[in-house]
Structure 1
Amino acid sequence: MKFFYLSSKPNQEGNFEIHERECDSIPESLDRDYLGPFNNGPEAMRKAQSLNPMASLCPTCCTNTFQAVFFKEKNPE
């Protein structure tokens, strides 16, 4: 689990970014609100949008870098 925060100040586009605790772009402690522990950015986004509909994911720390892996079942011949 990672810990996520919601910026209390808008970015240049007017959105309030969601950041992981270790993000280089995270705002100072007085300029952010704790969202909680989540597995990834999209999970944190669900809570953040209930608090602020202008929430958005940080392009630095909340990019989706994993890919689903599908296995095809082998024919038992």
Structure 2
Amino acid sequence: MDSYYVNKNAQANGDHQVHKYGCSYLPEEANREYLGEFSNCHDAVKEAKKTYPQSNGCYYCSNACHTS
């Protein structure tokens, strides 16, 4: 299980990126929201979409969930 976070600040395309703890692109503490412990990025993105409907996996740490 890994800890996942969502960036509170949207990217230029409107996506809120979901990151695994330890990612070099993990936002500063003030700019991220803890999503919980998940065994895969798909469940973490699903959780993020409850608050940020336009969420997407980070290209670097959650590539299997990166769609745009």
TM-score by length of 1: 0.79
- For structure 2, the residue ranges without an aligned partner over 5 or more in a row are none
Correspondence for 1:10? 10
Correspondence for 2:25? 25
- For structure 1, the residue ranges without an aligned partner over 5 or more in a row are 65-77
* Equivalent pairs, count: 64
User: Which has the larger Rg?
Assistant: 1
Q: Which amino acid aligns with 1:5?
A: Y
SS at match of 1:17: strand
Query: In the TM superposition, what is the alpha-carbon distance from 1:12 to its structure 2 partner?
Result: 2.2
How much is the aligned-residue C-alpha RMSD, in angstroms?
Answer: 0.8
Q: Which amino acid aligns with 1:18?
A: V
TM-score by length of 2: 0.88
Correspondence for 1:42? 42
